[in-house]
Amino acid sequence: MGVRVVAQLRKNTRVEIVTLDPRDSPPAVREGVIERVDYKTPLDIVEIVKVIVEVAPDLVLLTTSAADMGTTGSSGLDIFLDALNQELEASVRVPVIAVARSFT
């Protein structure tokens, strides 16, 4: 899902996209939608907030789903990601929107 969101946003050249991912080569890189990950950081609320403060974005889109991480079926991962999303929404002063995971 994250790959599709980034691909659509790239249609508007005025939109600057900054990516954060714990992996060197997430699906968006492998599929050629982006060249590289801008910030390689763990999925840790403190580290993510540091990047948000540094970048000062207008909007944060969360696309970290079990499928995006390549770990579908991992017990408890969806619960962890939901908690991470809620914590992030409460921790920063910019809009944070979790992208629906129901689309493929």
pLDDT digits (tens, 9 = 90+) for 7-21: 999 999 999 999 988
Q: Quick check: 23 and 37 in contact, CB under 8 A?
A: yes
In what helix (H) or strand (E) does residue 8 lie, and over which residues does it extend?
Answer: helix 2-9
Contact 104, 1 (CB under 8 A): yes
Q: What are phi and psi of 27, to 5 degrees?
A: -50, -40
- Sequence ranges of the domains in the chain: 2-98
Q: Is the pLDDT of residue 101 over 80?
A: no
- In the block, tokens 């974005």 appear at 57
**Collapsing DSSP states into helix, strand and coil, what is residue 46?**
helix
Q: What is the pLDDT of residue 70?
A: 52
